[in-house]
């Protein structure tokens, strides 16, 4: 992520990430909270490794990542993943027809198995046909490879 993108994101969500300083301790700044979350999302590293990288407790890291992801979703989803109107679907169908000569096509569907550690007491709930544990990222893209719908 570029520095400019990082700064823009902090401007959007920084006020919601800011916690209050107390007489016992200083709060973790929004920039650091966001950095921890981005490192986790980008690398998929475990909390123990982040604990050593950022010198924070495991439960603190877990709470920071959970809170930051919830804030990012609540703030960015209405802007970046807007509800598609009928006019938008007609434009998407026209784009598919121009590029592929598929009539009445409004999306290309694909899925990705994201490997996870087996959750405790889940049995075979997350076990897939490829013989590992995963969750499924399902997407619908338009003719320009832009996500229109996602489901995890």
Neighbours of 107 (CB within 10 A): 18
| Of 82, 79, 65, residue with least CA distance to 12 | 79
Domain extent listing, the chain: 3-80, 86-151
pLDDT digits 0-9 by tens, 15-50:
898 888 888 888 899 999 999 999 998 887 888 889
Q: Is the pTM of the predicted complex or chain greater than 0.75?
A: no
pLDDT digits 0-9 by tens, 62-111:
999 999 999 999 998 888 878 888 998 999 999 999 998 888 899 999 98
Distance between CA 8 and CA 14 in Å, rounded? 10
């Amino acid at each position: 992520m570029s520095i400019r993108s990082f700064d823009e994101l902090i401007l959007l969500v920084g006020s919601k990430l800011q916690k209050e300083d107390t007489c016992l301790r200083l709060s973790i700044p929004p920039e650091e909270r966001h950095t921890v979350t981005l490192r986790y999302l980008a690398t998929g590293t475990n909390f123990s490794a982040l604990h050593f990288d950022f010198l924070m407790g495991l439960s603190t890291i877990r709470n920071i990542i959970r809170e930051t992801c919830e804030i990012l979703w609540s703030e960015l989803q209405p802007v970046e993943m807007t509800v598609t109107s009928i006019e938008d679907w007609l434009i998407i169908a026209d784009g598919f027809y121009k590029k592929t000569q598929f009539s009445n096509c409004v999306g290309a569907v694909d899925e990705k198995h994201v490997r996870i550690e087996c959750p405790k007491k889940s049995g075979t709930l997350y076990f897939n046909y490829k013989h590992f544990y995963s969750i499924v990222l399902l997407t619908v893209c338009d003719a320009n490879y832009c996500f229109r719908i996602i489901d995890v």
